[in-house]
């Protein structure tokens, strides 16, 4: 049976950073809805144009287009054994759709690590985040600096600061998280799938806690 892991947590808590590390140790592909939208924006697709207008404001992209994008991604051959979902689902409607979709693949959500940190920590992490242009690898100017400033250690591409990591948009994204995504904590806890992880720890310690959850 395939294994699906949903990384849940507020913007900036470290989901993408951990997903990259865990993807390597589990062999599961890292599926990030935010990265998929940014790829569409870069390629100037219709979906990219639509998504950008919501992302610039810090709002969620509508459920229907988000769900069909994820459906297409999870149908690709590299997801045959499952996937590590980062940033999806973000609403109860998306979580219900995911459950339906995974039954088509004869699977289900197996683990939901819920990573938390204080709002001050989130804001500090987002404002110091540098993202790679080619593949979305992330660094932090203070906590996880690249070896050479402005250059991705992994693929050598240029690093940039995302438009939606500006202070006003960050505040809006955190608000949107509390109103639309936080209900998923109770949703997955009720299903017995949630594991609480302290995201205020170092990157290495968070990884160790995550791997311990996945081993059980």
Q: Residue 200 in contact with residue 121, Cβ under 8 Å?
A: yes
Give the residue nearest to ligand ADP (CB).
34
Neighbouring CB atoms inside 10 A of 192's CB total 7
CA–CA separation, 140 and 159 (whole Å): 11
Give whichever of 60 and 214 is closer to ligand ADP, judged by the CB atom.
60
Q: Is 38 a catalytic residue?
A: no
Q: Is 73 a catalytic residue?
A: no
Q: Give ∠ CA 206-209-215 in degrees, rounded to 5.
A: 140
Query: In whole angstroms, how close is the CB of 162 to ligand ADP at the nearest point?
Result: 8
Active-site annotation holder among 71, 133, 162, 189:
162
Q: Give ∠ CA 61-67-69 in degrees, rounded to 5.
A: 85
Give whichever of 1 and 182 is closer to ligand ADP, judged by the CB atom.
182
Give whichever of 143 and 187 is closer to ligand ADP, judged by the CB atom.
143
How far is the CA of 138 from the CAs of 14, 52, 131, 201, 206, in angstroms?
A: 10, 20, 5, 17, 16
Q: List residues near ligand ADP by CB under 6 A.
A: 9, 11-17, 33-34, 37, 54-55, 58-61, 66, 87-88, 90, 94, 125, 128-129, 138-140, 143-144, 164, 173, 202-203, 206
Q: Is 162 a catalytic residue?
A: yes
Q: Is 172 a catalytic residue?
A: no
Give whichever of 1 and 68 is closer to ligand ADP, judged by the CB atom.
68
Query: In whole angstroms, how close is the CB of 177 to ligand ADP at the nearest point?
Result: 8
Closest to 181 in 3D by CA, of 9, 64, 7: 9
- Active-site residue set: 15, 90, 129, 162, 173
């Amino acid at each position: 049976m395939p294994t699906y892991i949903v990384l849940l947590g507020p913007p900036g808590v470290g989901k993408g950073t951990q997903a990259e590390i865990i993807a390597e140790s589990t062999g599961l592909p890292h599926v990030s809805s935010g990265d998929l939208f940014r790829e569409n924006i870069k390629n100037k697709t219709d979906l990219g144009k639509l998504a950008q207008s919501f992302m610039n404001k810090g709002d969620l992209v509508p459920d229907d287009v988000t769900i069909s994008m994820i459906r297409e991604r999870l149908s690709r051959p590299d997801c045959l054994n499952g996937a590590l979902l980062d940033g999806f689902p973000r609403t109860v409607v998306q979580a219900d759709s995911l459950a339906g979709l995974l039954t088509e693949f004869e699977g289900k959500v197996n683990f939901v690590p819920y990573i938390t940190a204080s709002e001050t920590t989130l804001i500090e992490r987002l404002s110091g985040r540098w993202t790679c242009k080619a593949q979305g690898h992330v660094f932090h100017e203070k906590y996880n600096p690249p070896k050479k400033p402005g250059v991705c250690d992994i693929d050598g591409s240029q690093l940039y600061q995302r438009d939606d990591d500006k202070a006003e948009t960050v505040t809006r994204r955190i608000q949107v998280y509390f109103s639309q995504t936080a209900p998923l904590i109770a949703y997955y806890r009720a299903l017995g799938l949630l594991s609480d992880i302290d995201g205020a720890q170092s990157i290495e310690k968070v990884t160790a806690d995550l791997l311990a959850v996945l081993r059980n």
